[in-house]
Amino acid sequence: MTHLSVNINKIATLRNARGGNVPDLVQFTKDIESFGAEGITVHPRPDERHIRYQDVFDLKPVVKTEFNIEGNPIPKFIDLVLKAKPTQVTLVPDAVDAITSNAGWDTIQHKNFLKEVISEFKRNNIRTSIFVDPNVKMVEHAAKTGTDRIELYTEGYAEEFGKGNKDAVKIYTDCAKMAIEMDLGLNAGHDLSLQNIQYFKQEVPGLLEVSIGHALITESLYFGLETTIKRYLKLLKG
């Protein structure tokens, strides 16, 4: 079964655009879970331009499914995660000024750093995942960091699928097989949508979780939040 984790960064972006508390991030989170989502993802960045660090603590007692915090493991982020103790932490090597995540870890070059950070989270009973490009070698070496899971960066697949190139999924299939061989759990995310999620799910074995935010919130403008979430769940379970 592939679980749907909804990234709520865009809800926070909308709130922050006007100040105040509209839309109410906590209420949206409750509603998203009530509509069937199996997880909530947040990605706080140092400038707090969408998810604020305080949001993490406000959401922690509210989330009843799986709480996933993504981010670059700078000291401030590590401290946040250790205090909040989410279900899962996903480590992403994004620059401070990055608009969005745009690359995975070089698990060879950064192996020792990742091992140190991951071991600290695991000592605190927090499941770890690391963001990686669709590169079999990077997946193989990810296993040497001690991580529980990897999250495949799917922008390349989404872009090519939109052009009609379904063969773009093949490298993800190969990475998934390597993850299974290395006993790594497999997540995926970035630009997955109602248009491309079903084929990805069909072709990528062992997919445990997808994290979807930008596309899902955009699609909700057309279909409504509850309908959109239920459409994703139908495609993922079918």
Catalytic residue among 43, 50, 151, 219: 43
CA 182 to chain centre: 21
C-alpha separations of 72 from 93, 158, 175, 196 in Å? 5, 23, 23, 27
Active site residue 48: no
Q: Strand ranges (DSSP E) for the chain?
A: 3-7, 39-42, 66-71, 88-91, 127-132, 149-153, 185-189, 207-212
Catalytic residue among 3, 50, 141, 190: 190
Active site residue 190: yes
Give the residues across from 127 on adjacent strands. 88
Catalytic residue among 33, 70, 151, 209: 70
Roughly what angle, to the nearest 10 degrees, separates helices 75-84 and 111-123?
20
Active site residue 70: yes
How far apart, in whole angstroms, are the C-alpha atoms of residue 76 and residue 20?
Answer: 25
User: Would you name the residues annotated as active-site residues?
Assistant: 43, 70, 190
